[in-house]
Structure 1
Amino acid sequence: MHKIRSQYSILEKYTYLNTANHGLISQELIDYRINEMEKMRDQASLYTNNRNDFIDEVRTAIAQFVDATIENTAVIPNFSTGFNTLIEGIDKLSTFLLLDGDYPSVNWPVETRGFNCVYASINENLESNILEACKLHQPDFFCFSVVQYISGIKIDLDFVKQLKNQFPNLIIIGDLTQYVGTERFLFRESGLDIILASCYKWLNAGDGNAFICVKEHVKEFIKPNRIGYRSTKNVINAIPEFIGRFEPGHQDMIAFGSLKLALEVALKIGLDKIQTELQHWSEIAKAEFESRDLLDEAVVKRKQHSTIFNIKGSHDLYNKLLDHGVVTSLRGNGIRVSFSYFNDDKDLARLLEVLDL
């Protein structure tokens, strides 16, 4: 991974353990953006006239990356924009199952629209809590983050598949923002019906790019109402397709080109290799934190975990870490640290060294 680290100049200055907050920008991505900006400067509309074809290429790359159908994949500027568009098209009498304490951009849009909301607790028994809530409340929709942004607790995707089999009429919507790019994922084989993700974190794609993929059968139950010129792919008097409702205006070619490049980089490294590397960090970091009594009991009791950890500590510890060049985030009641595939043994050693001071 040394060659990969050389792409990120920040790693020469800091111990960066904050991908859960924001991924890094590689030199390759910087070079790409500069080149595309120069094209836009020199060619203007001669460049942007290719927008539709280019966005189709990006959509195709996304669909192949997550194993979705191209016609049911849309590019969106961020998770929240796509998710709000999605749920605006849902019957207001629907019941939603949410996770208590999930990412605000998942829960708030649902809660503020007046849907009937029921909840499952995020703890060591997450999957059992969800199953019991489904049995008790029979919700129409279940929305959740695959990886929790505060604790790093990761839902068992095999459980999600079983849940879908047990409740086939339940529409399951997953936020993949803290997940996509960390391992191989096959949407069509999963129990999820709809996935959305911003890609500036684990894909290191920069800001302004995200995606949504849906399965064909959900279109019967969701009627998004946003519309714009590109919703019909510039075909005058055409009836807007379902997925076109998520692309009502012109798309940022450079932002989505950055996503396309990021997907190519991840595939070049190898998703299996990335998954193996992250599994390594999940196991050894958890063991080190657990030995220091820095983790919540719910995380300790989980068999599998992501590479996001919330360790016990105050604002003073956060500042101490930063003073020693260790970049983290204050989240919840502690300090969130997150390991990506570009991190190495020195990064963990540096973190532990400062924690032990």
Structure 2
Amino acid sequence: MDKFRKEFPVLRKGIYANTAVYGPLYDSLLDWRQEHDLDFLLSGSDMRGEALKVISDTRSAVSTFFNCKRENVALVNNFSSGLNVLLEGLDVKKKILLVEDDYPSLNWSFEKRGYVIEYVKLSEHVEEEIQEKIENNKIDVLALSLVQWLDGFSIDLEFLKKIKILYPHVLIIADGTQFCGSTNFDFNNSGIDVLGASAYKWLLAGYGNGFMLFSDQVENEFDLNTIGFNAADGNFD
């Protein structure tokens, strides 16, 4: 344990208890990042192949870690930017179900785009209320944090799987930022259609790192115009 503690300089000052906001940087990660940047500084475009390999290897690692198809993994700067890109391709006529006072980056992204939105209050009966809203209000999209940022409330993952079985047309979008890394998680068998996370918190990936995981259903529900060379995997066709 002492060996691991020494990796985190911030722990020399006391107990660090704010990983929910920002995961502490550690020595070996900083060393890797500095060496990587130094290679860019000295090699310029000759480093391009290595940089693309890092991105490719990272997608593969995320795919394996969370059991999601590699081609259904996107690497993003953080959850907020990934979700906002995604919602640019979601029909504004969709009816959305949110949890009141959920993480601002989640709720605001829907609220600022003019969707018709229903809400449930966070309580010990939230799962029952979610199901009731879906049943009676023709909900198209359920979006929520797997772990609530205000009080640490954790949604029942088996409940989400049940919702997907009962209402397969409902897209389930989840913020996993306060969840991923806390327990084993099998995305392909979760019933969730989109899971995004800022990986610089509990996953300790360092700033500027996040990911999005997608089910096969998502491709038919979104019409995205955002594209770039790496997003196309270098395929000019």
TM-score, normalized by the shorter chain, greater than 0.5: yes
Instruction: Measure, in 2, the Cα distance between the counterparts of 1:128 and 1:28.
Output: 45
Identical aligned residues as a percent: 35
Shift of 1:230: 2.6
Partner of 2:217 in structure 1? 217
1:25-44 correspondence runs (5 A): 25-44=25-44
RMSD, matched Cα = 1.2
SS of structure 2 residue aligned to 1:232: coil
Matches for 1:124-139 after TM superposition, within 5 Å: 124-139=124-139
Q: Deviations along 1:248-285, whole A, 9 cap, x unmatched?
A: xxxxxxxxxxxxxxxxxxxxxxxxxxxxxxxxxxxxxx
Structure 2 CA distance, aligned partners of 1:54 and 1:111? 36
Q: Where do 5+ consecutive residues of structure 1 fail to align? A: 239-357
1:52 shift after superposition: 2.6
**What code does the residue aligned with 1:18 have?**
N
Counterparts of 2:223 and 2:192, CA distance in 1: 19
Distance 1:135 1:16 in 2: 43
Q: Deviations over 1:143-181 (max 9, x none)?
A: 111001111111011111111111111110111011111
Match in the other structure for 1:76: 76
Pick closer, same or farther for the CA change 1:227–1:201 going to 2, 3 Å: same
CA distance in 1, matches of 2:50, 2:36: 13
Residue 67 of structure 1 contacts residue 187 of structure 1 at CA under 8 Å; is this kept in 2? Answer: yes
Letter of the 1:5 partner, please give it.
R
Q: Which residues of 2 match residues 326-345 of structure 1 at below 5 A?
A: none
Alignment partners' CA distance in 2, 1:123 and 1:149: 14
Report the counterpart of residue 170 of structure 1 in structure 2: 170
Report the counterpart of residue 140 of structure 2 in structure 1: 140
Provide runs of 4+ in structure 1 moved above 4 Å. none
- Residue 25 of structure 1 and its aligned partner are, at CA, apart by 0.7
- Superposition map of 1:42-121 within 5 A: 42-121=42-121
Displacement after TM superposition at 1:38 (Å): 1.8
Alignment match, 1:191: 191
Contact 1:73 1:214 in 2 (8 A): yes
Within-5 A mapping of 1:285-296: none
Larger radius of gyration: 1
Q: How many residues align?
A: 237
2:82 partner SS: helix
CA–CA distance in structure 1, aligned partners of residues 144 and 84 of structure 2 = 14
- What SS does the corresponding residue of 1:97 show, helix, strand or coil? strand
In the alignment, is the contact (CA less than 8 A) between 1:52 and 1:233 conserved in 2?
Answer: no
The answer to whether structure 1 residue 231 and structure 2 residue 228 are counterparts is no
Letter in 2 for 1:91: D
TM-score, with length taken from structure 1: 0.64
Could you tell me the TM-score, scaled by structure 2's length? 0.96
Between 209-218 and 50-59, report the one with greater CA deviation: 50-59
SS in structure 2 at match of 1:51: helix
Letter in structure 1 aligned against 2:122: I
Q: Is the 1:84–1:109 Cα contact (8 Å) retained in structure 2?
A: yes
User: Which ranges in structure 2 are unaligned for 5 or more consecutive residues?
Assistant: none
In the other structure, the counterpart of 1:180 is 180
**CA distance in 2 between partners of 1:168 and 1:228 (Å):** 31
Cα 1:136/1:2, change in 2 over 3 Å: farther
Structure 2 CA distance for partners of 1:226 and 1:102, relative to 1, 3 Å: same
1:123 offset after TM fit, Å? 1.4
CA displacement 1:218-260 (0-9 Å, x = unmatched) = 2111111112233322332x1xxxxxxxxxxxxxxxxxxxxxx
CA deviation string 1:181-210 (max 9, x = no partner) = 111100001010111111011011111011
Higher helix share: 1
Report the counterpart of residue 159 of structure 2 in structure 1.
159
